[in-house]
A and B are shown apart, each in its own frame.
Chain A
Amino acid sequence: MAPKKIVLRFAADTSDKPIIYHLAKEYDLMVNILKASINPHKEGTMVMELTGSRYEEGIEFLRQQGITVHPLTQEVVRNEDRCTHCGACTAHCPTNALYIERPSMEVKFNGDECIVCLMCVDVCPVHAMEVKI
């Protein structure tokens, strides 16, 4: 059974529930957390891989916990030739995957932190942030 990648988004009140434990223990799912980020307001995003035959039930369980779940089918990459290091995207990236390094003011992109929210794809004036499927 091939692992399936999903993105979870949860609000402040669910961020401390032991969801991983339940997925493994009650639904027999193998969980591999790829990325996780929680902002100061305790809203979080997590990208994980799930493997196991009771995948659908596991997803249903997550939704019942008030967690938004959607499959991760795409990836955001930066076209290095196009990026001008203006910095406009950094105000809108929720996880600081795009950030300004100081004092050089160069814009860095850390793909591991990216949760594919696509904000940067919308705001980059030179279309340097691209969606890869």
Chain B
Amino acid sequence: MIVERTYKEINERIKAGKAVVLTAEEVIGKVKEKGIIQTAKEVDVVTTGTFGPMCSSGLFLNFGHTKPRMRMSKVWLNEIPAYAGIAAVDAFLGATELSEQDPCNTNYPGEFRYGGGHVIEDLVARKTVKLRATSYGTDCYPRREYEKDITLDSINEAILFNPRNCYQNYSCAINTTEKTIHTYMGTLKPHIGNASYSTSGQLSPLLKDPYFKTIGVGTRIFLGGGTGYVVWNGTQHFPGFLKDKESGKLTGAGGTLAVLGDLKQMNARWLRGVSMRGYGASLAVGIGLPIPILNEEVLEYAAKSDEELYAPIVDYGDAYPNLRSEDLGCASYAQLKKGSIKVKGKDVPATPMSSYPRAVEIAGTLKKWIQKGDFLLGEPTQLLPGPGENDC
């Protein structure tokens, strides 16, 4: 390597207010202008961002003890059940959980107006949330019923712990069937009437480090408007590459992150309950990762542009629900962002599910934090598994 930098050196420069930070969007132009080596010499950190619905999110809560004490065995927050089989006053609230009274899809397509993700948004927005709990009562925990209005500040802990977030890449969803379908990729019109995609392309964190050379346990990140950490690989972490018959290896594919952070320092602008018509409830999460430019190779991937990054096209009307593989080709993020792609010879309007303007804002915010010296890089104690031998 011609350029080499350590985390320690970068952090020293951050503390001294001298670190050079660019967003993953800005660095593209800089590399085009000055080349990889020169840019790698100048730039310490590249910031990324993404904001979109991320299932597999949730919240660990500790409510504090009641008087008399209670061993809560069932817990509801605004009538959304939380899992209480952890300890006396601990619970886990999942983003996709629904009230037992929710009509779901009985009146298809269901609205799913309020779920676990919405409770998380209400808590972080400092709204009052109704806690209800029941128990069978024990000698040391005699209380059997409890109801109280709580807020984020009135409880001991609220730790956002999302077991699978920040998908490296995601399908561009279409529908080849004859009827409109309602999916977690949005409402898809029949006969390939539209296409829906969901990553921030050139700003997307894991697309910018496809070999996982810098991301690992302990990477400090922007999470929900506050700081958080990568604590493990996400569930279903299948790092690899999207391949194309003609051009070969294209783009990072199936990596994911498990992330954690203290909800009390997050912000409702970056944690939004979402309702996907006909599908269910979830949580939109804002995440940003800093990529330390340890060498020119790291920069080479961090500087990939929308023209060089691709999403696989997947039929959510048939192949996806039936777990059947089918090659419908790929679309570059540049094409997707222009708003029209070609599928089976047809021009199809493409719209995003994740917010590009918010991804820009996250990468910009993280850049400012680092420039101000408020945010030091966390050196991973262990890198996440990258693509296997056969994938590279």
Contacts and interface: CB of A to CB of B under 8 A. Distances in A.
B186 interface: yes
Interface bracket on A: 20 to 34
Given A125-B274, A125-B284, A100 B351 contact: yes
B275 A127 contact: yes
B11 interface: no
B167 to A, nearest CB: 15
Given A102-B338, A125-B275, A125-B276, A87 B351 contact: yes
B53 A125 contact: yes
B23 interface: no
A30 to B, nearest CB: 39
B273 A126 contact: yes
Contact of A102 (B187, B274, B337): B337
Contacts of B276: 125
Contacts of A24: none
B367 interface: no
A88 B274 CA distance: 12
A106 interface: yes
Contacts of A84: 51, 272, 284, 355, 358
A127 B284 CA distance: 13
B275 A102 contact: no
Of A86, A126, A127, most buried by chain B (CB within 10 Å of CB) is A86
B164 interface: no
Interface in A97-133: 100, 102-106, 122-123, 125-127
A85 B337 contact: no
A77 B354 CA distance: 21
Contacts of B354: 86
Nearest to B361: A85
A88 B356 contact: no
Given A91-B186, A102-B338, 15 more contacts: A85-B358, A86-B284, A86-B353, A86-B354, A86-B355, A87-B351, A87-B352, A87-B355, A90-B351, A91-B194, A91-B196, A105-B352, A105-B355, A125-B276, A126-B273
Interface of B: 51-53, 113, 186-187, 189, 194, 196, 272-277, 284, 337-339, 349, 351-358
28 contacts: A84-B284, A84-B355, A85-B358, A86-B52, A86-B352, A87-B351, A87-B352, A87-B355, A88-B196, A88-B353, A91-B189, A91-B196, A91-B351, A92-B187, A100-B339, A100-B351, A102-B338, A102-B339, A103-B337, A105-B337, A105-B355, A122-B187, A123-B186, A125-B276, A125-B284, A126-B272, A126-B273, A127-B275
> 3 tightest A-B contacts by CB?
A105-B356, A125-B274, A91-B351
